[in-house]
């Protein structure tokens, strides 16, 4: 049972123990406070006392566990936990997270992410942004009835960065899926820790300007690496530099070519990228 709770809440052993202690002490505190309050009212024990006690404990419990969670370092957990309870009671569904996907090529990762949120309504793909007229990702946008925006480099890099278009779509999260231009600083500052990229190698190796596609895979093979993989990371002002969210690996065989290695890496991308985006959405809008 404890193992199931640990997996469900995604916490380590120490935090699980602290959470259980918070539940226990918080419950005891609200029970004690409820009894003291009823003593002050002068209500005699009986049906009315029992009903009043249940109501009081129900009202006091959230405040008590939040209070106890602070010294135990679990305030963030219990804030989310209580938020989920309120949502279930009121049956209030959170607003779906609005995602813009930036892509430059065929859009296979974009398609996988779109498919992810056909099954999971916690997010909506509201815009496909592309810097190459005729790119395959624009066909995907058309087929999926998703609005698309073709951007021009000077305006993107030096102008208003298309911020008005993103705001009009109420974009919450930007996902880069094979987008080759550097993201301008103002866009990063507008969406701090809300722009995600995937790189076809194990950063910090084989990243930086010009390192994309088969150039990366050829560099990995030339260096006689034993493994390669993917890195999913937040975007900052430096190419392929932001905080790493997830890495996954695949073996590099002696007979591998850039094309065969690319196939292995693409398989990892399609497996992990939609799942990571879904987890980020879940953390932003817990349900």
Average pLDDT of the residues in 198-214:
91
Average pLDDT of the residues in 151-179:
94
Q: Of residues 90 and 32, which shows the higher confidence score?
A: 32
The verdict on 6 and 110 lying in the same domain is: no
- Count of CB atoms situated within 10 Å of the CB of 39: 9
Contact by Cβ (8 Å): 246, 62: no
Catalytically annotated residues: 199
pTM score, whole prediction = 0.69
The verdict on 103 and 161 lying in the same domain is: yes
CATH no. for residue 170? 3.40.50.170
SS3 label, residue 199: strand
The verdict on 191 and 254 lying in the same domain is: yes
Give residue 286's pLDDT: 45
Q: What range does the domain containing 42 cover? A: 2-90
> pLDDT by residue (tens digit) across 8-58?
777 888 988 999 999 999 989 988 988 888 888 888 888 888 888 899 888
Q: What angle do CA 199, 204, 207 make, to 5 degrees?
A: 50
Give residue 78's pLDDT: 87
Per-residue pLDDT for 244 more than 50?
yes
Residues in the chain: 287
Per-residue pLDDT for 173 more than 90?
yes
Residue 65 CA from chain centroid, whole number: 27
The verdict on 30 and 159 lying in the same domain is: no
The verdict on 109 and 213 lying in the same domain is: yes
The verdict on 124 and 262 lying in the same domain is: yes
With a CB cutoff of 8 Å and minimum separation 6, the contacts of 235 are 176, 183, 188, 195, 196, 197, 242
The two tokens of residue 100 are: 């813009």
Q: What is the residue-averaged pLDDT of the chain? A: 90
Q: Of residues 142 and 209, which shows the higher confidence score?
A: 142
Longest Cα separation, the chain: 85
Q: Which H helix or E strand runs over 174?
A: strand 173-176
The two tokens of residue 58 are: 């129900």
The verdict on 43 and 177 lying in the same domain is: no
Q: Rounded distance, CA 239 to CA 236, Å?
A: 7
- Domain boundary, last residue among 90, 120, 143: 90
> What do you get for the CA distance between the two ends of the chain, in Å?
22
Per-residue pLDDT for 65 more than 80?
yes
Structurally, how many domains does the chain consist of? 2
Give residue 93's pLDDT: 67
Give residue 184's pLDDT: 94
Average pLDDT of the residues in 207-223:
91
The verdict on 122 and 249 lying in the same domain is: yes
SS3 label, residue 210: coil
Per-residue pLDDT for 287 more than 60?
no
The verdict on 61 and 103 lying in the same domain is: no
Give residue 285's pLDDT: 57
Q: Rounded distance, CA 31 to CA 35, Å?
A: 6
The H helix count followed by the E strand count for the chain is 11, 7
SS3 label, residue 196: strand
Average pLDDT of the residues in 138-165:
94
């Amino acid at each position: 049972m404890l193992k199931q709770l640990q997996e469900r809440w995604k916490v380590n052993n120490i935090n699980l123990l602290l959470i259980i202690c918070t539940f226990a002490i918080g419950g005891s505190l609200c029970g004690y406070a409820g009894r003291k309050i009823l003593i002050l009212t002068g209500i005699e024990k009986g049906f009315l006392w029992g009903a009043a006690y249940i109501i009081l404990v129900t009202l006091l419990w959230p405040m008590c566990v939040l209070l106890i969670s602070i010294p135990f370092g679990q305030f963030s957990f219990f804030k989310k936990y209580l938020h989920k309870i309120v949502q279930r009671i009121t049956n209030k569904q959170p607003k779906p997270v609005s995602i813009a996907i930036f892509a430059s090529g065929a859009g296979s990762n974009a398609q996988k992410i779109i498919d992810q949120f056909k099954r999971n309504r916690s997010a909506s793909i509201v815009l496909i942004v592309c810097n190459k007229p005729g790119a395959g990702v624009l066909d995907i946008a058309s087929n999926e009835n998703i609005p698309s925006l073709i951007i021009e480099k000077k305006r993107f890099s030096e102008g208003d960065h298309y911020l008005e278009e993103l705001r009009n779509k109420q974009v919450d999260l930007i996902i880069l899926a094979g987008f080759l231009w550097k993201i301008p600083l103002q866009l990063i500052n507008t969406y701090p820790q809300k722009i995600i990229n995937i790189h076809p190698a194990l950063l910090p190796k084989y990243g930086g300007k010009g390192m994309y596609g088969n150039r990366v895979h050829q560099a990995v093979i030339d260096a006689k690496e034993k493994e390669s993989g993917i890195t999913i990371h937040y975007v900052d002002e430096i190419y392929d530099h932001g905080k790493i969210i997830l890495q996954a690996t695949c073996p590099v065989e002696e007979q591998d070519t850039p094309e065969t290695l690319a196939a292995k890496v693409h398989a990892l991308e399609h497996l992990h990228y939609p799942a990571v985006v879904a987890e980020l959405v879940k953390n932003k809008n817990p349900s």
